[in-house]
Amino acid sequence: MKALCFDTFGGPDVLYYGDVPAPTAPDRGEVLVRTRAIGLNFADVYRRQGHYHLLGQPPFIAGYEGSGTIEAVGDAVPVLKVGDRVAFADVPFANAELVAAPADKIIPLPATISFELGAALLLQGLTAHYLSHDSYPVKPGDVVAVHAVAGGVGQLLTQLVRQRGGRVLGLTSSPEKAEVARQLGAEAVFLYADDWVSQLRAHTAGGGPDAIYDSVGSTLPQSLEAVKTRGTVVFYGMAGGSPAPVDPRYLMDASKTLTGGDLWNYLDSAQERQHRATVLFELVAAGQLQVHIARQFALADGAAAHRYLESRQSTGKVLLIP
């Protein structure tokens, strides 16, 4: 089968489209999925760069998210069957034409959700869901700031926060991205090139937001400065680089909370994955959650897709199409 591979760590140029052995017949409790769409995430960039651990030996295959149809079903899989339309959000080696997936990681796709939507929604939508419902459960009237507000998670998080009665202040890198966020309901959007800490505090009468969702990482000290006394900063990504260490005495003195977030600590069972995915599917079907696909690339053009994602030009999800 064909797959997007790399043998050494580095920039997008280390990626190549080549032949690799196809997965064998699915093991007990597994299904074999022929992918129709694959989600590209910054985690894939980190894996290509060597910052995330990868199993096995070269050629490496990144990717953890996709959708497609089941081609084969292993023993002890009582519900799923060949031909089912499905998606998955935590299965390695997804940047390939065929993926062997544990059945408990498989999420059936409703007829209302296309393959492209399924691959675009799960990782980022499930992330936005746990952030707004668990890491900092948004309450009616809360004012929250969202970093990278025009990105895939940022767009979905903005909408989910507003559905819970919160007000969103966005942070982004360009006027064009700011307009995208405003169209999705952000009350105000500030640019990283400006003094956004002062702007956030001024917009909230000098107190700062109730919470800040920070996926940039390098901005963590400024987020802690900007959030109000007794406010919360949720750190859940490092798209802009690793954060500086935080002195816990500062948190004590300012009565501020810093918490971390990782999706896999919340998607800890098949039931939890299915429940949260169903909520997202129903919101999309009802027209209450918009999923923006920024661009689609052929899987063979994966290096170009990585360059595009790293360029910060994208507003929304980037897909790879086998």
pLDDT digits (tens, 9 = 90+) for 63-73: 999 999 999 99
Return the pLDDT at 6: 96
Question: Mind listing the pLDDT tens digit for each residue in 162-173?
Answer: 999 999 999 999
The C-alpha atoms of residue 200 and residue 268 are separated, in whole angstroms, by 35
Q: Which domain holds residue 57?
A: 2-121+267-321
pLDDT-derived band at 206, boundaries 50, 70, 90: confident
For residues 83 and 189, state if they share a domain.
no
In the chain, the number of structural domains is 2
Residue 108 three-state SS? strand
Query: Could you tell me which residues come within 8 angstroms of residue 88 by beta carbon, excluding any fewer than 6 positions away?
Result: 33, 65, 66, 67, 94, 99, 101, 105, 106, 107, 122
Question: Mind listing the pLDDT tens digit for each residue in 142-160?
Answer: 999 999 999 899 999 999 9
How far from the centroid of its chain's Cα atoms is residue 222's Cα? 23
Q: Per-residue pLDDT for 228 more than 90? A: yes
For residues 255 and 144, state if they share a domain.
yes
Q: How many CA atoms lie within 13 A of 127 on its CB side?
A: 27
Tokens read off for 121 = 């929604």
Q: Per-residue pLDDT for 262 more than 80? A: yes
CATH number for the domain that contains residue 64: 3.90.180.10
The C-alpha atoms of residue 67 and residue 288 are separated, in whole angstroms, by 22
Among the ranges given (76-80, 84-88, 128-132, 292-296), the one the predictor scored with the smallest mean pLDDT: 76-80
For residues 91 and 47, state if they share a domain.
yes
The C-alpha atoms of residue 294 and residue 81 are separated, in whole angstroms, by 32
Q: Per-residue pLDDT for 55 more than 90? A: no
For residues 220 and 313, state if they share a domain.
no
Return the pLDDT at 316: 83
Tokens read off for 310 = 């790293």
pLDDT > 70 in the chain, percent: 100
Inter-residue contact 115 to 67 (CB < 8 Å): yes
The C-alpha atoms of residue 134 and residue 122 are separated, in whole angstroms, by 17
Global pTM reads 0.92
52 domain residue, yes or no: yes
